[in-house]
Structure 1
C-alpha cells in the first residue's frame, strides 16, 4: 500500500492539477506538485536502504512525502507507534525486517543485526496493542485500492474537499484521512498534535474540513469545548469506540449541516460496518446500532461454542472484507502469517429481533468475579447512562480471593454532586452484585486514553476511593 495504481493516480493529479492543495498543516499548504517535489528530493535517501524501512510517524507534509518516496522506490514502510522507546522500536523493526530508520530531514540510521529482506513495496501498520502485544500488519495493495474507491464515493472525497487527519499517521484511520484523500485529489488537513488533546484546537481544525473522522473521545471534547457550531462539515464519522447515544444527541447542534455516521472496523480488516446515526432511535434503544455491512463484507456472529447465531442473540463478531490485510509479519518467526477469513474480531455483539447489531464489549472485557463471568463493557455502559456522568472507564485487576476486583474512574458533569458511594448504589440496582465496582474514583480531568481514543489509563483522582 499504496499500490502502483495509487501512485499512478497520484502522478495523474500532479500532471492535471499541479497547483491543487494536497496537504495542509497549520498555515502551510503543499500542492500536489509540491508534494511530488518533496518526495523526489528524498529519493536518494530512500535508495541507500536495502529492504524494508522504518519511518517515525511525525505528522508533517515531509513525512507523507518520505512515505511516498519509499513506496515509489519499492520499499515496505513501517510506521511504528510514536510512543515506543528505543529498545521497543528496534525490536519492532527486527520483527518487520527494517534495516534502517529514515527521517524527512535526510537522517539515515542503519540498524545493526537486522538483515535486509526485500519484499516489495507496501505499508506496514501495527495493531493498537490495547488487548495484547502490538503486531505488525501487512496491508493488501488491491484491498486498499478498493477501500479508497469506496471511501471517496461514500463520503464525497475528491477535488475541492478537505479531510481532517487528527490522529498520528501510524493509525489505520489515516488510510481514509490521508491516503484516500490523496488518491481522490482531495486535501488532507494534518491537525497539530495538540488538536488530539484540546477541544478548542480540534474545533479550529474541524472548521477547515468537510469530512472529519473522530473517536467518541474526540467528539466529546468538541461538544464540551467548541466555541461555536461547525456548519462547514458535511460528514462526521465516529469510529474507534462505541458511540454513546447521549453524546450522539449533542452532535447535530455542533455539526448542523453534517450527516453523522457510525463506522466500525479494525487494522486487520479495515472498515466493515457503516450506519447513519438516527439519534432518536439510539436514545430509545439506549445504544447506537453498529450499522450495516459495507458492500462485499461478510459477517457472522459466533456463539460461545462456535455455533452460528442466526437470529437474536449474542456472540463474537466474525468478518471478511474486500479491504482485508494480507497477514501479520514477523520475519524472525517464519515471515507472514495470513489473517483468517473470516477474521475473529474479538468484539462481542448482540443482535436484536430486527437484526440490528450492538457492540457489547470484547472477549478480553470478560473477567471472573467470585466465579461469575462479568462484562466490563456492560458495567461501563450502565455508569455512562447516569445523567450526571460525562465519561467513565472500568477496569479489572487480579485478586487472589475474588478472581478480579472491578474499579471505575468517573468524570461528572459540571456542578454535579454525585459521589462514588452513590454511584455504587446506582450500579447495585442495575447490575449483578459481582459486577458492582468495588472502588470508584471521581476524577476532574478527561479519562486517559490513547491518541485514537482507546482505553489507556485512569485519570488523577479528585476524591478518595470509596470502597
Structure 2
C-alpha cells in the first residue's frame, strides 16, 4: 500500500502545553524563557505573568471552551498572553495585525470570541469590539499590586480547543481551524523527538501563522530560550542576523524566501554571524533546489537543513526531510505519530512512483473548521486504513509522488489554492472579493511569473477603476498576502470561440516578463529618480512605476522591501536602512532620502526618528524595571 507511518509517540498521562512549561518553571525558575529587545523573562516570571493573565480573563467571564482573540505585536507579552489564554481554559485566536480592520472584525465575529487580549500598543485595534478587552503589560510585574496566583485559572481536557488559526476561505470569508489540546500535545511530542535538546530559537513567524506553534511550544516545552524578533527586527534581515549572533541562536524556522534573505544579509556582514546555528528549518512554501545548494555552500555540514510540510489542519506539520548534504528536494516522510497515504480519485492507494493525492492520518488531525460542518465533512474523512476505531484522515488537496528512495515529492495542488510567502491563499476568494468592488464586471487571479506573488485581471469599463484604486479598495477587505501585486484592468477578459473565459490566454499574459509589456514608466530628467524607478521596476516586476504611489500599493510587501534595499544599493550606490524605506514609501520620497544622504556624505541612510523611538523604548523599559524593583 502507498502509505507510510511515523514512529510511535511516547505514551503517558496527558499534560496540557502550558502546564508542561509550568512544571519546567518549578524546576528551573531562573532560566531565561523569552528574550525580546531589552527584555529577558525567566521561566518563573513567565508562569507568574501568564497565571495573572488567566485569572484576569476568568474575571472577565472567560471559561472552558471559550475563544479569546489575541491582538499583540511580537513581544514577551504576546508569549505570556498565549499561555494565559490556555490557562483560562480557552482557545487563543491569533489576529494578524497586518490585516485590515474589516478582516479583523470578520474573524472576531466568526470566532464568537468572549474576550480580546491586547497590549497598550494594539488595544486600539479592538476599539470596535463589543467584547471585554484585557490589556497585558509589556513586562512582567508591571502591576505590583496584582495577586500572584499559584495556579492557572482553569483546567483543560485533551479534547478542549487550544487555538483557532484562520485560513483563506473559498468564498472570501475567513475559515478557522480548531486545534485541540491533544493535537498540540502530539505535534509537540513529535517535534521534541525529531529535534532533541533545549534550543535557543529565533521566532520569526507571526502568531497567526501556525509555524509559530512549532517555535513557541517546541522551545518552551524543551526548556529552551525563545528569542522573539520584534516588529522592527522582522523588517530588517540585517537585524535578524544580528539577533542570531548576539543571542547565539542555534535553531530557527522560516519560509524559504526569508531564509534566502538571511543568507544575503549574512554574506554582507560575514557568514560567521550565523556560526551558532545548528538547525535551519524551512516550511510554508516550496523549497527551491538552489537554496539547498546555497545552504551547504555557506554552512558546514554541522548545520542541518530540514524541510517541513504540513497543513494547519494536521497541526503544523506532517512530514519532514533532513538534508545531510546537497541532494534533490523532497518533503520526506512522516513525523512521529502521523500516517501518510497517497490515494487516487477513488481514495484507493496508488503504486509507488505514481502521482496521487496526499491524505494524512494520525494524532495531529484536528477537529475541523469552526462553525462549518459541511466544509469539515468534505475534507475530514473516516480513515479506513487505521487500526484504531474512529480514526480520521485529512484530504490535503496536494498531489505527491513517492520516489525511489521512499520519500514524497511534492507535485502541486488539485485546486486553485496556492501558497504565497508561506500563507495559504484561495484564488477564488480573491476573485469573489474583487467582483464586489464598484465597477468590476469580472475578475481572474493567477500566480505571477515568479510564483512568489499574484497577478489579477479585471474587466471594467468604469472611469476611475484603475489598478491602484482597486488595490487600495481590496486592501481594505483582505490581508496583504491576498492582494495581487499587479492588477491589469481590461475592457473585457479574453474568451475562446465557445464564449468561455480563455484562462490559457491569461496564463500566457501573466507569464510575460516586464520587457514584453509596453514601457509606461514615467520619464524623469533627474538621473537619481530614474535609478530609483529602475530599482522598483526590477523588484516589483512591473513596467509602470509612478513617482507618487506607495510601494505597497504597487504590490510590494515586507520581504520585497529587503530586495528593494539591495536593488537601490546597486542602482543608486547607497543602501538605505529598512526603517527609512518603510517610512519613505514612494519613488519621489526615496529619491529625496538618498539625495539628502549623498549631500551629507553618508554611506548609508539612517533614520533619526527610528533611533529616537528605540531610545525612548529603552528608557521606558528601564523606568518599568525601576518601578518593579521598588515594589519588591
TM-score range, shorter chain: 0.7 to 0.9
Provide the C-alpha distance between the structure 2 equivalents of 1:355 and 1:185, rounded to a whole number of angstroms. 34
Query: Does the 8 Å CA contact 2:163/2:180 hold for their aligned counterparts?
Result: no
**Equivalent residue for 2:270, pick from 228, 235, 241:** 228
* TM-score of the superposed pair, with normalisation by structure 2: 0.56
What does 1:167-182 correspond to in 2, within 5 Å?
167-182=205-220
SS in 1 for 2:330: coil
Structure-2 change in CA distance of 1:36 and 1:306 (3 Å) = closer
1:90-133 Cα shifts (integer Å, max 9, x gaps): 3222222203222144968794499xxx9966432324428764
Structure number with the higher strand fraction is 1
Provide the C-alpha distance between the structure 2 equivalents of 1:24 and 1:129, rounded to a whole number of angstroms. 32
**Equivalent residue for 2:364, pick from 295, 301, 323:** 323
Asked if 1:29 is matched to 2:78, the reply is no
Structure-2 change in CA distance of 1:103 and 1:308 (3 Å) = same
Asked if 1:264 is matched to 2:309, the reply is yes
Structure 2 residue aligned with 1:276: 322
Structure 1, unaligned runs of 5 or more: 283-287, 368-375, 384-390, 411-417, 423-440, 454-459, 461-467
Asked if 1:355 is matched to 2:406, the reply is yes
Asked if 1:252 is matched to 2:296, the reply is yes
Query: Does the 8 Å CA contact 1:101/1:109 hold for their aligned counterparts?
Result: no
**Equivalent residue for 1:239, pick from 273, 283, 294:** 283
Structure-2 change in CA distance of 1:200 and 1:452 (3 Å) = closer
Structure number with the higher helix fraction is 2
SS in 1 for 2:221: helix
Provide the C-alpha distance between the structure 2 equivalents of 1:409 and 1:34, rounded to a whole number of angstroms. 54
* TM-score of the superposed pair, with normalisation by structure 1: 0.74
Structure-2 change in CA distance of 1:301 and 1:94 (3 Å) = same
1:214-241 Cα shifts (integer Å, max 9, x gaps): 1111111122222222121111111111
Provide the C-alpha distance between the structure 1 equivalents of 2:514 and 2:104, rounded to a whole number of angstroms. 43
Structure-2 change in CA distance of 1:125 and 1:449 (3 Å) = farther
1:157-215 Cα shifts (integer Å, max 9, x gaps): 42xx2111101112111111112211221111101224444321221233331111111
What does 1:58-457 correspond to in 2, within 5 Å?
58-105=73-120, 111-112=129-130, 122-129=161-168, 133-158=173-198, 161-207=199-245, 208=247, 209-226=249-266, 227-229=269-271, 230-256=274-300, 257-270=302-315, 271-282=317-328, 288-304=329-345, 306-330=347-371, 339-340=380-381, 341-365=392-416, 393=453, 397=457, 399-401=494-496, 402-404=502-504, 405-406=506-507, 407=509, 420=515, 443-445=537-539
More displaced, 305-314 or 13-22? 305-314
SS in 1 for 2:291: helix
Structure-2 change in CA distance of 1:93 and 1:31 (3 Å) = same
SS in 2 for 1:262: strand
Structure-2 change in CA distance of 1:217 and 1:408 (3 Å) = farther
Aligned residues, how many? 398
Asked if 1:48 is matched to 2:60, the reply is yes
Structure with bigger gyration radius: 2
